[in-house]
Structure 1
Amino acid sequence: MPLSRRTFLQYGKAAGLFYSASALGALSVSRASAQAPGLVSDAAGILDLPEGFTYAVVSTTGGQMTDGFLRPGRPDGMACFTDPANADRCILMRNHENWPDTETGSPFGENDELLPHLDDDLVFGLKPDGSPFFGGVTKVVVDMRTGQLVEDYLVLTGTAANCAGGPTPWGSWLSCEESMRRPPEESQRYHGWVFETPSSATGVIAPVPLTAMGRFAHEAVAIDPDTGIAYLTEDSSTGLFYRFLPDTPGKLHRGGRLQALAIRDWPSATTSNWPRDWGGPGLGHIEPGQSFATDWIDLEDVHSPEGDLAERGHATGAAQFFRGEGMDYARRPDGSGGDIFFNCTQGGNQRSGQVWRYTPSASEGRNGEAGAPGTLTLQYESPGADTLDMCDNLVVAPWGDLILCEDGRGDQYLRGLTPTGEIYDFARNAHPDRSEFCGACFSPDGQIMFVNIQEPGITLAIRGPWANLHS
């Protein structure tokens, strides 16, 4: 159904600082493709978009930032925040998925000549040879009137493979390490943590790992603003879906309890839907739209140096998810709470991706939850790469669709998934590198979509007639 401008603006206002109103709780399981506008070829060879949409390049990898450091490579997960100092500006907190063996994209330049400008305690991790890891976070301030860069800073550094993460309701960005490098052969300290970075930072912060949130191949985080509970995905073929019950909501550094989701009456479930002849266990098939009551299993030794948290959790009954990645929280329009949506990049019968929805219990994390448990639903499963090819990052749009970033095997698209279960193409990566899309997010007023093309490292601001997208 076409959205009127009034309806669109109402959705945008409901989105507030971070979260979007959404009708996705009633998403159907149709595998049809939406009637989408054709994409217009970009003469600049960067981004094909529907008629009427335009983009601006916010920044590219390698240039000098405001603080004198170089813009790191491989921009990935990202979130947008209001700028309290200027209503015409917004703040992007942007991850950089530089893996330990990445040789380009360092913020410190060749031979780390800029590293002496930082105190040693501001660099989280070093390689065995004493050189720094250069994954981390940059803060990017954007003029929303033009989509142009105002200033940018290095905020977190010395971390490894900061892939996705998530915003908090209190104005910070949770950046997640996907790499679990360990000493002494791979690093000088353990990696595989979540780090909290304030959007107010104007320089490199002291890195403090939130160890109570577990050591594993972290991907994304979404926080329910009503409860303060954090949900976490794991980018692994044998990964789990986690929740973190903070001892003090809003104060993650004070610790809490980490748990893994289990499907009631199906202990140690495998949710991939892979056929046995593709290496899957063949333990039954989950239909799109099928829902399950859930339980949560307490996890022990969550920061184990062995990096075996998922293996131990699955052995005690937790469900496996095939490469859990992007995730977002969406408040339901009726005010009855919200849902957590997350992608499994290579889940599904065609190994092309699954979209899941977790609906928390009315007593989530409290006494009474067992009697009225949360619900897990297979929201959508790709019928093949031509429709949706390996969905990665995810964001709920202000008008209620899910925007899915592909990290597939051919052309890379931004795909939309409507509340009626239809897939449509919104953008195509026209750059010769054909790299993945990452970090899609919206400005606080809902008028700009920001997104990264990971290689060669481009951050884009997209504008257009959003309210007419399906007309």
Structure 2
Amino acid sequence: MERRNFLRGAVFGTSAAAFGGTLMHGAAYAAPAQNGAGPYGGLLAADANGIMLPSGFTSRVIARSGQTVPGTSYTWHSAPDGGACFADGTGWIYVSNSEISSTGGASAVRFSSSGTVTGAYRILSNTNRNCAGGATPWNTWLSCEEVSRGYVYETDPWGVKPAVRRDAMGRFNHEAAAADPVRKVIYLTEDESDGCFYRFVPTTWGDLSSGTLQVLKAGTGTSGPFTWVNVPDPDGSPTSTRDQVSGAKIFNGGEGCHYANDTVWFTTKGDNRVWQLDLLNSTYELAYDDSLVTNGTAPLTGVDNVTGSSSGDLFVAEDGGTMEICVITPDDIIAPFLRITGQSSSEICGPAFSPDGKRLYFSSQRGTSGSSSGGITYEVTGPFRTTA
């Protein structure tokens, strides 16, 4: 029996790709994903861009840090990190954070319906180590600061409206954000070895200027029930948000976060895990744990950003490891989808699908140089499956 009963549908507003599912009901929790043959077959030799891909897929370089984006006059930012795609008429926009201290911020690349780059521009400036974030159903990008008592900034992917700092969403070492339009909340990860998992409940859905920050409370195991408890002081001073609620569950280095169809997934880099919350039944379990792979070497280490596709496949990027994006299928098989060669001092960031689900964008934060100034942003095109 498959561990998850997958529900498929479109992600709210910004991307046609969705990854959904609910846990199988019952007393027992099933084992996390295991090694197996991926849905796209094995990886071929590296292409001209140094990327190993399955048959039928091709890559291209969209932008390089410190260089003008081809077809524009805009210089791409250093250390590209978390990203997302937004529909733009018949085309789309890919936004990308910059994980640079003090100047950070985020940029965007605009595409026509054919995939031609038609523009690039800044959407956020002079913030600090903008790591991951998330898209909202009302087509804004939440850019999160990965620093102690960092902020969340709400930005306009079109670069027309000024960015707004959202203090009510809490001050902590922010990583990713994922919007849940059913419960009308935003989930938030915290990049600390003793970090927590949060949700922000806006006073009015669609307006993040006020609301309540809550933290997940649960036992110490890898599965069980959970509840949400209000964080008394979201400002996090003098007591950090993660230390304010007794019984708040500790997670080792929160990273990527993805919501679809009553389920939220998030990754923890300190223990190479992918967690899964069943929001209908308020239970949690492991979707992946490299130490629990029993049939060979674990393919996914250094778990980081995560996104999903309309087939129910979850795509998880590596920070280090073997520089792969791995796919976890609905029947709990995990396999490499792509591998970047010659960039062992980098990490893969910002995976996001175009609205039609046919193109996957992502970055190598430090590229071949191993330096923040060497970042490369890619596009992979090919026969991504729409059903499992």
**Alignment TM class, shorter chain as reference:** 0.7 to 0.9
For residue 196 of structure 1, report the CA deviation from its aligned partner. Answer: 0.3
Aligned residues: 363
Deviations 1:383-415 (A, max 9, x none): 36742102100001121011000113x421100
Q: Which residue of 2 aligns with 1:319?
A: 249
- In the alignment, structure 2 segments of 5+ residues that lack a partner are 1-6, 25-29, 367-373
Q: Which residue of 2 aligns with 1:127?
A: none
Q: Which residue of 2 aligns with 1:374?
A: 282
Q: Which residue of 1 aligns with 2:342?
A: 431
- Give the % identical residues: 34
Q: Which residue of 2 aligns with 1:215?
A: 171
1:135 partnered with 2:104: yes
For residue 25 of structure 1, report the CA deviation from its aligned partner. Answer: 2.4
For residue 374 of structure 1, report the CA deviation from its aligned partner. Answer: 1.8
Deviations 1:266-296 (A, max 9, x none): 3xx3xxxxxxxxxxxxxxx53xxx3x22121
Q: Distance in 1 between matches of 2:283 and 2:137?
A: 23
Q: Distance in 1 between matches of 2:126 and 2:352?
A: 25
Could you tell me which of 318, 321, 326 is aligned with 1:415?
Answer: 326
Secondary structure of the equivalent of 2:193?
A: coil
For residue 11 of structure 1, report the CA deviation from its aligned partner. Answer: 5.9
For residue 24 of structure 1, report the CA deviation from its aligned partner. Answer: 3.6
- Provide closer, same or farther for how the CA distance between residues 43 and 396 of structure 1 changes in structure 2, counting only shifts above 3 A: closer
Q: Which residue of 2 aligns with 1:272?
A: none
Q: Distance in 1 between matches of 2:352 and 2:23?
A: 22
For residue 80 of structure 1, report the CA deviation from its aligned partner. Answer: 0.4
1:274-313 aligned within 5 A: 286=222, 290=223, 292-306=224-238, 308-313=240-245
For residue 228 of structure 1, report the CA deviation from its aligned partner. Answer: 1.9
1:229 partnered with 2:229: no
- Provide closer, same or farther for how the CA distance between residues 211 and 224 of structure 1 changes in structure 2, counting only shifts above 3 A: same
Q: Distance in 2 between matches of 1:206 and 1:257?
A: 24
Could you tell me which of 291, 303, 313 is aligned with 1:401?
Answer: 313
**One-letter identity of the residue aligned with 2:98:** H
Q: Which residue of 2 aligns with 1:177?
A: 145
- In the alignment, structure 1 segments of 5+ residues that lack a partner are 1-9, 101-132, 181-190, 270-284, 332-337, 348-352, 362-372
For residue 448 of structure 1, report the CA deviation from its aligned partner. Answer: 0.7
- Name the structure where helix makes up a greater proportion of residues: 1
Could you tell me which of 67, 80, 87 is aligned with 2:85?
Answer: 80
Runs of 4+ in structure 1 off by over 4 angstroms are: 10-16, 65-69
1:162 partnered with 2:130: yes
For residue 29 of structure 1, report the CA deviation from its aligned partner. Answer: 2.7
For residue 234 of structure 1, report the CA deviation from its aligned partner. Answer: 0.4
Kept in 2, the 8 Å contact 1:83–1:90? The answer is yes
Kept in 2, the 8 Å contact 1:12–1:446? The answer is no
**One-letter identity of the residue aligned with 2:315:** I
Larger Rg over CA atoms: 1
Quote the RMSD (CA, aligned, Å): 2.5
Could you tell me which of 41, 44, 58 is aligned with 2:48?
Answer: 44
Alignment TM-score, normalising by the size of structure 1: 0.72
- Name the structure where strand makes up a greater proportion of residues: 2
- Provide closer, same or farther for how the CA distance between residues 468 and 225 of structure 1 changes in structure 2, counting only shifts above 3 A: closer
- Provide closer, same or farther for how the CA distance between residues 143 and 459 of structure 1 changes in structure 2, counting only shifts above 3 A: farther
Deviations 1:179-235 (A, max 9, x none): 13xxxxxxxxxx600000022324xx5443211111000001111112321110001
Kept in 1, the 8 Å contact 2:254–2:266? The answer is yes
1:330 partnered with 2:260: yes
- Provide closer, same or farther for how the CA distance between residues 31 and 82 of structure 1 changes in structure 2, counting only shifts above 3 A: closer
Q: Distance in 2 between matches of 1:391 and 1:158?
A: 28
Q: Distance in 1 between matches of 2:286 and 2:47?
A: 39
- Provide closer, same or farther for how the CA distance between residues 175 and 13 of structure 1 changes in structure 2, counting only shifts above 3 A: closer
Deviations 1:280-313 (A, max 9, x none): xxxxx53xxx3x2212121122113446221223
Secondary structure of the equivalent of 2:311?
A: coil
- Provide closer, same or farther for how the CA distance between residues 379 and 214 of structure 1 changes in structure 2, counting only shifts above 3 A: same
Deviations 1:326-346 (A, max 9, x none): 011112xxxxxx211111112
Kept in 1, the 8 Å contact 2:214–2:228? The answer is yes
Secondary structure of the equivalent of 1:226?
A: coil
For residue 464 of structure 1, report the CA deviation from its aligned partner. Answer: 1.2
Deviations 1:318-373 (A, max 9, x none): 11011111011112xxxxxx2111111122xxxxx111112224xxxxxxxxxxx6
Kept in 2, the 8 Å contact 1:165–1:221? The answer is yes
Q: Distance in 2 between matches of 1:76 and 1:238?
A: 23
Q: Which residue of 2 aligns with 1:462?
A: 380
